[in-house]
A and B are shown apart, each in its own frame.
Chain A
Amino acid sequence: MVTGVGALTPIGTTVGEFWDAAVKGSVGTAPITLCDVTGLPHRMGGEVKGFGDAASGLPRSTQLAVAAGLAAAADAGVRPWTSDPARAGVCMGTLLGNRAAVEAGVMRFHRGEPPAAIDGLDPAPPLADLADAVSRELGFMGPSVVVSTACASGNSALAYAADTIRANRADVMIAGGVDEMSSALLMLFTSLRSIAPDVARPFDRNRAGLLVAEGSAALVLESYEHARRRGARVYAELAGWSSASDAYHMTAPHPEGRGARRSMERALAQAGVPADRVGYISAHGTGTPSNDRVEARAIRDVFGARTPAVSSLKGALGHAQGAASAIEAVGCVLAIRDGVIPPTANLVDADPECALDLVSLEAREARVDVAVNNAFGFGGNTGCTVFTRLGSRRAR
């Protein structure tokens, strides 16, 4: 069961702000300010505005992870945690994690600045801190782990957490994703010629790439019995989850969307939900020519020509990497709660190669009993989660 949510995004630093802006189709991408963009041809991205405490001594990504985790815990009413600390854990997903902490000193060195001017040459912080810092703040002593499947990491964290609860290794898990804006991230996507010059236009005929973004989100997961015992409010049920590998190429998706299709099929099968009951697909929808075309094909392969309503939040947010599918998972459970499907910002002229029931520019009111959350990453790592309205599976 999903009983709490927290999110820090380029369109809001609370879940309320985020969701209001997402439903309105507000665009949060803007010129990048948080890291060195010297030499980069395109300099737009999505940053979490007004966030960060330089005096904390923690890398920005760790701060983002903690903020999302604490917000979700407070929302779920598990902060403070008064039960057995060994039965509560944390799993966060990431692409590059807190490695940006080494960037400033390294870049000054490579620019030939005198050694005395180079500080910040600290060791790379442990990646596990992204979860451990959340665990420490909440007093959790169950499993604490960071996972990565690149841009599908948020979904993988949800899957890890759900498996942990299902295997009775924890009663409650906080699961989500985080990544921060960094020069290396921008250089990496620049080298792939994947970055759009102005905005991301998922599924649009004129899409020109993604915009790198940062953010974090966390969801509180617990077993149905545990949630019922403590009288928790349930947003939705995480009913299915799956990952699959394209086993094809490090950066290009399989042209037939093999891993994407398999992830969706297996997650739906695990959820016990037929494809025709899905009311909303939160697409990976990055705005790159290849991803959107392949994803559209995979969705049609699974759902047929009459697809469920599809939208991508990345037009509004940019692509927050390891955080993306965690943020989008929050979007899915709120779509179920509120009966509203957020639009795809900047989608003006739908690409005929992406023939889907696309929700563009304006939100659509619709009851959503089942929402599918797609996420596809570097290395052909794909992940899919399926959220259902509580009781809707058993009501069939």
Chain B
Amino acid sequence: MTRSVAVTGMAFAGSLGAGLDATWEALLGGGTAATTTTYGDGPFRGAGFAAVLSSDLPEVPAFERKRLRALSRESLLVSRVGALAWRDAGFDAGGAPAPADVGVALGTTTAGLDDYLRVLHDGVTHGPALVSPSSGPQASLNAVASELSVSAGAEGSIVTVTAGRCSGSHALAVGADQVLTGAAEAVLVAAVETLDPTAARVDRPGAGPFSAGRGAAVPGEAVVVLVLESHRRVRDRGARVLAEVSGWSTVRGDAGQDTAVRAALGALRGAGLDAAGIGLVCSSATGGTGVDGPEARALHELMGPSVPVFTPFGALGDCAGASGLVQLALTARALEAGLAPPTCGLTRWDPCLPRIGVAARAQRLRPAPALVLTTDARGQAAALVLRPPAAGSGA
């Protein structure tokens, strides 16, 4: 049986622009956000290439929250982007479910790490008694999701998920389950990734995704919040549907093409499709080691070279745990536009990789569902099938 949920709200902050529209236009223009920047504190302070958020959205209210200084940067960002998604879904205009029926599921790999290091700094240099009682709890992995639930007044189910680059994809699966089982009427599915201050710096970026001469991937920051609802609820309230997630799969294995293929086939099966039914693929290739090769081989095995493929991470940097939701948001936009954006940084195709439909220019799409494939070098893989909204759906 095909299971699907509707995406009725979507908001995005990334390194190419403050919002989905700005990001989309920059992607079409072939821009990249990677630049040299200095980040981290204490022993971890250092410079390297990174794609930092273009704005922390200071003009956006975090719902009606006050005393925002108690929130970590990640918590504040997600509450702000969450407020935009909430509005995008029409929830500020009376369409929101009861608070007890709104869930939160958030994917991340780095949430709380900055504040963890700050607790250690303050505890050692000022003494444990002077660690801030408001900032200390921000070090916990679940702080960002908790603050989003407080900001939005979401009293339903809540969870933070971490599974490498597939963290956001797992959060989506949790949210979809919640909606489909009726455990929640709507779920705020979020992902946040800020720069990991403890990670080694990238002194010199390699070539772009799928290109010969790839090296280390440039890290990138991103925040995404989606609103998921059931189709029944969408019909009842006449909501606009941005996209339909109709199959998803999360697996783990070796970091090779077989794991990626398994994830893709699981999502296709869930959507009641085979690979021939797919008209667009969003890959999670970064230009780094460990992802591009297995994904290229997997996609070649599944659908050969003719289906348009793009990856946004040559432009946005590797958005780590937010990758899956970044891909979902941009794929929804691609389906709406009927265009696959160019893959930034693609120069000379790596001759060791089989050819797939990646291009350094925009590609026209046939009307068909899209496959979003997210993998990492540690064996996590996730996939989902995204359909454009059915004609005439929603308000």
**Taking beta carbons and an 8 Å cutoff, which residues of A are in contact with B?**
39-41, 85-86, 89, 94-97, 99, 102-103, 105-107, 109-111, 118, 121-124, 126-128, 131-132, 135, 140-150, 153, 156, 159-160, 163, 166-167, 169, 183-184, 186-188, 190-193, 242-251, 258-259, 262, 266, 377-381
Contact = CB atoms under 8 A, between A and B. Distances in A.
A329 B134 CA distance: 30
A123 B200 contact: yes
B284 interface: no
Contacts of A378: 137, 140, 142-143, 146
Contacts of B156: 244-245
A250 B160 contact: no
Interface string B79-104: 00000000000000000000110001
Given A132-B378, A147-B160, A187-B123, A123 B136 contact: no
20 contacts: A109-B42, A123-B198, A127-B162, A128-B167, A132-B380, A141-B253, A143-B252, A145-B162, A145-B250, A148-B161, A150-B142, A159-B159, A166-B181, A188-B119, A190-B128, A247-B150, A250-B137, A250-B138, A379-B143, A381-B146
A368 to B, nearest CB: 27
Interface in B10-49: 42-44
Contacts of B143: 250, 378-379
Chain B contact patch, size range: 35 or more
Given A103-B120, A148-B142, A379-B145, A142 B161 contact: no
A163 to B, nearest CB: 5
Given A99-B116, A128-B378, A184 B155 contact: no
A89 B252 contact: yes
B262 interface: yes
Contacts of A123: 196, 198-200
B300 interface: no
B200 A184 contact: no
B133 A127 contact: no
A243 B43 CA distance: 39
- Across the A-B interface, the 4 shortest Cβ-Cβ residue pairs: A379-B146, A187-B123, A191-B131, A144-B252
Contact of B142 (A99, A109, A142, A381): A381
A85 B262 CA distance: 12
B163 interface: yes
Contacts of B137: 188, 192, 250-251, 378-379
B164 interface: yes
Contacts of B200: 123
B133 A96 contact: no
B139 A96 contact: yes
A243 B253 CA distance: 29
Nearest to A184: B119
Contacts of A141: 251-253, 259, 262
Contact of B162 (A142, A146, A149, A186): A146
Contacts, number: 233
Nearest to B249: A169
B234 interface: no
A244 B99 CA distance: 10
Nearest to A380: B146
A164 to B, nearest CB: 9
A126 B42 contact: no
A111 to B, nearest CB: 6
Contact of A192 (B121, B136, B155, B162): B136
B117 interface: yes
A377 B142 contact: yes
B116 A250 contact: no
Contacts of B122: 187
A124 B198 contact: yes
A262 to B, nearest CB: 6
A268 B60 CA distance: 40
Interface string B147-177: 1011011111111111110010010001001
A144 B380 contact: yes
A376 B132 CA distance: 22
A188 B136 contact: yes
A256 to B, nearest CB: 12
B160 A149 contact: yes
B127 interface: yes
A118 B44 CA distance: 12
B157 A244 contact: yes
Nearest to B134: A250
B271 to A, nearest CB: 15
Contacts of A193: 133
B361 to A, nearest CB: 35
A209 B252 CA distance: 40
Given A86-B262, A123-B198, A244-B155, A190 B131 contact: yes
